[in-house]
Amino acid sequence: MNETAAEPMPASLRFSGALCALVLAGLVLLAYINRVMVIPPTNKDAALAPRLARERGDVRELKLTADDGSPLYGWLLGRDDAPVKVIQCMGNAEYIGPAAQSYADTAAELDAQFLLFDYRSFANSPGTPSERGFYSDARGAYAHAIKALRWRPSQVVVWGRSLGGGVATHLTDELLKPERRESLAAGGPPRALVLEAAFTSIPDMAEVALPKLPLGGWMAYSLFDNAARAPRLALPVFHFHGDQDEIVPFEHGRRLHRMLPGPAKFLPLPGAGHLNVWSDAGRAAQIRRELREFLAANPERNSR
């Protein structure tokens, strides 16, 4: 008995299948490019922070947990009885250790205690980096501050540098919503927000980084959309930005500041770039002095 020969696949179906496979491969490649451009892999010394923690007398190591269960490494830097409590959301590729003395100097000048944490995949925190993951990390750090460290929400200053500005505005926006505060175990909004060299959004940054690529901003997967959240950030905001910033344009800072409902202060830093903000002693002293004065003018409120 003769077997019936299989009919060949129609050319149109073969073409459609190949096109779908090509589109899928392109989307996977685009997602990878987005991740490495927004959060590029960099060498980080995982031994540095634990070694410094053993050597310094002003540091206590913390084991934190993001609100999705991911383990995080952290530091508590400064006096336990300091009246100002800062949750620091670091910038891209930054991790605990390299800037330890700068944070210690800032803590001393502000009479503050800092909670520092490594985002997932950074140095001593395992995991895979992502926008959603970083938001989860910040929520976990905040929950630890309130529940384990017994910080009052009205003491808390959320500080975000560069990419960390997107993390800080997201956390602050959630803490200003009563329904989210309940789930985050927060009794009230934070005292203030500090933004350091923050951009408006990743799509806007894509337009800057890839000016000749049509729809460059449209192809950005990560948003870190500070501009969308800024009009809702009705709390004191201290905001500073170098006017020679070679990574995040100074105009991003100006635009973002104009969106804030206030009370807000914008401190332009003449001659400062993105990576050397704290390297000049005089400039660092100015930032700390003006931030201290801003916090004094916007004191801790009673938690509600």
- What integer is the mean pLDDT of 232-253? 97
Instruction: Tell me which residue of 267, 271, 262 sits closest to 293, measured CA to CA.
Output: 267
Work out the pLDDT band at 20, boundaries 50, 70, 90. Answer: low
Please name every residue paired with 64 in a beta bridge, in sequence order, or none if there are none.
72
Q: Residue 282, SS3?
A: helix
> From CA 130, how far away is CA 160, in angstroms rounded?
17
The pLDDT value given to residue 208: 75
> From CA 221, how far away is CA 228, in angstroms rounded?
16
Q: Does the pLDDT of residue 32 top 70, yes or no?
A: no
User: Do residues 156 and 163 lie in contact, with contact meaning Cβ atoms separated by under 8 Å?
Assistant: no
- What integer is the mean pLDDT of 94-121? 97
CA angle 60, 42, 134 (to 5 degrees): 60
pTM of the predicted model as reported, rounded to 2 decimal places: 0.86
The pLDDT value given to residue 30: 45
- Tens of pLDDT, residue by residue over 56-72, are 999 999 999 999 999 99
Q: What is the CATH T-level fold of the domain 45-297, as seen in this structure?
A: Rossmann fold (3.40.50)
Which residues, at least 6 apart from 153, have a Cβ–Cβ distance to it below 8 Å?
A: 146, 175, 181, 186, 187, 188, 189, 190, 303
CA angle 89, 78, 289 (to 5 degrees): 75
CA angle 285, 290, 294 (to 5 degrees): 150
Q: Does the pLDDT of residue 216 top 50, yes or no?
A: no
Whether residue 263 has a cis bond before it, omega within 30° of 0: yes
The pLDDT value given to residue 143: 94
The pLDDT value given to residue 215: 46
The pLDDT value given to residue 59: 97
> From CA 286, how far away is CA 229, in angstroms rounded?
28
What does the DSSP 8-state code read for residue 67? T
In the chain, domain spans: 45-297
- What integer is the mean pLDDT of 237-260? 97
Work out the pLDDT band at 15, boundaries 50, 70, 90. Answer: low
Q: Residue 71, SS3?
A: strand
The pLDDT value given to residue 29: 44
Lowest mean pLDDT among 127-141, 152-166, 194-208: 194-208
Q: Does the pLDDT of residue 27 top 70, yes or no?
A: no
- What integer is the mean pLDDT of 267-289? 97
